[in-house]
Structure 1
Amino acid sequence: MEKMKRNRNQTSQRIIDALEEVIAEKGIAGVGVNRIAEKAGVSKVLIYRYFGGLDGLLVHYIKMGRLFPLYNEATLEYLKPDHEKDLAKVWYKQVLHSFRLFRHFPTAYEVLKASVIDNEPMADVVSRAQDEEMSRLVDQLAFVKDVDARAISAIILGGMSYMTLLSKKDHTMLGIDLSTESGWERVEEAVKLIYTSLNRTMMESGSGAMEDQPAANTMIGYW
């Protein structure tokens, strides 16, 4: 029984690795059961048996946490700052980490591109799953009452997504070269400024108090 479980886990991992490689090489449009099965060296029947089909495989992959960090309850307790003034660091570090991954990890970039601009069934599956997961993450990191964390995050994430897609086309935006690290350093400093200013405004106005939950040791350097 233990051997069967181990073999299934190993086979599942080969399928996941093959999916990741196909996305990086061909984009979401190039993903297919036959191609994944061939690259993984398995029967395509196993993809249906283990994941319920291609849609299930894609959703499973997105929810694995290989494209952006996932947070369990214990991790969130570590991330929650002891003081309101440190909220900005939690917010902008999550955003910057995620989009560095989207820029530098080909599979993550292709998933982001499919969720934003591709118009096909597989891209729709990816878009829905990614939006659901990102919404869950934003809600989990919303440590403040009476602040629309989803709307704020939608603006930031939308802008960062657009600029990430432009970066692969050697485009500039308002003179900022998005194909260079120096250009992205400017963008990242701007994101930090936005969240820091929002944090300061919130504290000065008293419009948002942190949720009354036990705070554990701060791990702002988690990423």
Structure 2
Amino acid sequence: MNTKPRKIVSGEIRDKEKTMLKLINAVGEIIKTEGYTALGVNKIAKKAEVNKKLIYRYFDNNVNNLIETYVKAKDYWIGLSENMEDILMQADVDHGKELLKSILNRQLTFFYTAEEMQKIIIWEISEKNKMIKDVSFKREEFGEEIFKLIGPYFENADTDIRSLLALQVAGVYYMVLQAKANGNTFCGVDINEPNGMERVLKALDKITDLVYKDAEDNLKNKANAALDKAAY
């Protein structure tokens, strides 16, 4: 009797990968068209046109693992964390000013077009959910890596970069969600129009410039105060 374990051939691996991709894409389609409340094993399997048993087989017996895989693959901040080497190089220049401008501008343009992520952020702020909380924690981990790079400069300058960036990021989320949900202007600015979008992108850059200017001025004032003290 042959007791050797059966070898998994390449065709089976390809079939598994193809099925997993179909399931992941099905999650996105349901979120986009029906919202996160419609997610369930039966509906995902039907949308993907696969047996629901495969969800449990390929995602460790938990449909939330499938949903989390999709969310992490689509999340802007988690996607950025995969390019930390490039980010580290950019942060060495001008204490990360141009890096932050790029990150914030891309956050706005990405989030504006990412319907699934808009639904996911609404989900995140609408109810307590361990899976969504874990995704949020992954974003925070990436944020901490950025703050490790730029934080010391602002700490020395007594500029609260964390709170300032939090307001910018949150503002992007709200302006997009409000514009997409109601099509209304916010403070007279309509980001559904190219001119309105351009105004907000420029405003994000301007805020970043002002934050760095504030830090620079504070550091100069500290240095001058130290020189004056040493002169006496």
Q: Same fold (TM over 0.5)?
A: yes
Quick one: distance in 2 between partners of 1:78 and 1:10?
36
> What TM-score, normalized to structure 2?
0.76
Partner of 2:69: 60
- Once the two structures are TM-superposed, the CA of residue 97 in structure 1 deviates from its matched residue by 1.1
Partner of 1:220: none
- Once the two structures are TM-superposed, the CA of residue 190 in structure 1 deviates from its matched residue by 1.2
Gaps of 5+ in 1: 208-223
* Residues 1:98 and 2:107 are matched in the alignment: yes
Query: Is the 1:19–1:31 contact (alpha carbons within 8 Å) kept by the matching residues of 2?
Result: yes
Query: Is the 2:30–2:44 contact (alpha carbons within 8 Å) kept by the matching residues of 1?
Result: yes
TM alignment of 1:69-108, pairs within 5 A = 69-72=79-82, 73-84=84-95, 87-108=96-117
Q: Provide the aligned C-alpha RMSD in A.
A: 2.2
Corresponding letter in the other structure for 1:70: L
Greater Cα radius of gyration, structure 1 or 2: 2
> What TM-score, normalized to structure 1?
0.79
- Once the two structures are TM-superposed, the CA of residue 31 in structure 1 deviates from its matched residue by 1.4
User: Structure 1 residues 82, 157: CA separation in 2 closer, same or farther (over 3 Å shift)?
Assistant: closer
Identical residues among aligned pairs (%): 22
Quick one: distance in 1 between partners of 2:42 and 2:162?
38
- Return the match for 1:15 from 3, 23, 26: 23
- Once the two structures are TM-superposed, the CA of residue 60 in structure 1 deviates from its matched residue by 1.6
Quick one: distance in 2 between partners of 1:176 and 1:103?
15
**How many positions carry a matched residue from both structures?**
200
Query: Is the 2:59–2:66 contact (alpha carbons within 8 Å) kept by the matching residues of 1?
Result: yes
Query: Is the 1:71–1:137 contact (alpha carbons within 8 Å) kept by the matching residues of 2?
Result: yes
Query: Is the 1:23–1:31 contact (alpha carbons within 8 Å) kept by the matching residues of 2?
Result: yes
**Bigger relative contact order, structure 1 or 2 (CA pairs below 8 A, ≥6 apart):** 1
User: Structure 1 residues 126, 27: CA separation in 2 closer, same or farther (over 3 Å shift)?
Assistant: farther
SS of residue matched to 2:80 = coil
* Residues 1:176 and 2:213 are matched in the alignment: no
| Bigger helix fraction | 2
Gaps of 5+ in 2: 1-7, 221-232
